[in-house]
Amino acid sequence: MDDGPVVFIKDNDSLNPEGPEGFWKVMVVDDEKSIHDITMTSLKGFMFEGRGVKFLNAFSGQEAAALFHLHPDTALLIVDVVMETQDAGLDFVHYIREKLKNHVVQIVIRTGQPGLAPESDVISKYQINAYYSKTELRVQKLISLFITSLRTFDISVKLEAELEKRREAEQELISLNKTLEKKSRGEDPAACPGQPVEKPVPGQCEP
């Protein structure tokens, strides 16, 4: 692991990327401040692909939703289940996946009360990437989780960008084919629809 610094930020700190590569944004969503502190301390010095981590801290599901709107490029969400309500964390996950249609950000459930949200139920119902109890997610496992999550996020973002380029290319090809079809029928694509190329165009389209 590289020995570059991890940047810890507070809500009023600047979130603009620093350096040529910027930072990976990781949001910790938990109503226990100690969990935030442990997470940030455990990742001290962490680097992945030449980039450090910038932490975003939310202490409720509502705070998390508002913060995510400000930072839609967040790579990883580590979410508790029980916060302001019994299933606040799951409501937040549902909001990200179903309302915002964001399937790129990596979502990890980390709960202190697994009995209230059993792993099998959560994984089958919600589109999460991993599920842990707070007691099992120790330092080394947390580091491994960050590596795999950020790698998956990076690949997903690149794939999504490539798919978008292909969609744009397909639309351009469809438009070009339509133009060629009109020309082959003797229509001027720049003139009024259905008007032959050889027919002079007056000031307005003829009925």
Query: Mean pLDDT for the chain?
Result: 81
The residue that leads in pLDDT, 16 or 144, is 144
| Domain hosting residue 1, numbered range | 1-199
| Number of domains, the chain | 1
**Does the residue 207 lie in any domain?**
no
**From start to end of the chain, where are the E strands?**
23-29, 52-58, 76-79, 106-111, 130-133
The CATH number of whichever domain residue 5 belongs to comes to: 3.40.50.2300
Q: How confident is the model at residue 167 (pLDDT cuts 50, 70, 90)?
A: low
pLDDT at 194: 56
**pLDDT 10s digits, 69-88:** 999 999 999 999 999 999 99
pLDDT surpasses 70 at 11: no
Q: Which residues pair with 187 in a beta bridge?
A: 196
On whether residue 206 sits in a domain, the answer given is no
Matching residue, tokens 């979130």: 15
Dump pLDDT digits (tens) for 83-133. Answer: 999 999 999 999 999 999 999 999 999 998 887 888 888 888 899 999 999
CB-based contacts of 50: which residues, under 8 Å, 6+ apart? Answer: 2, 21
pLDDT in tens, 173-197: 677 677 767 777 776 555 555 555 5
Q: Is residue 110 part of a domain?
A: yes
In a domain, 204, yes or no: no
Give domain status of residue 76, yes or no: yes
Q: What whole-number percentage of the chain has pLDDT above 90?
A: 56
180 within a domain of the structure (yes/no)? yes
pTM: 0.71
CA 121 vs CA 30, 90, 94, 139: distances in Å? 20, 11, 14, 26
Tell me if 205 is assigned to some domain: no
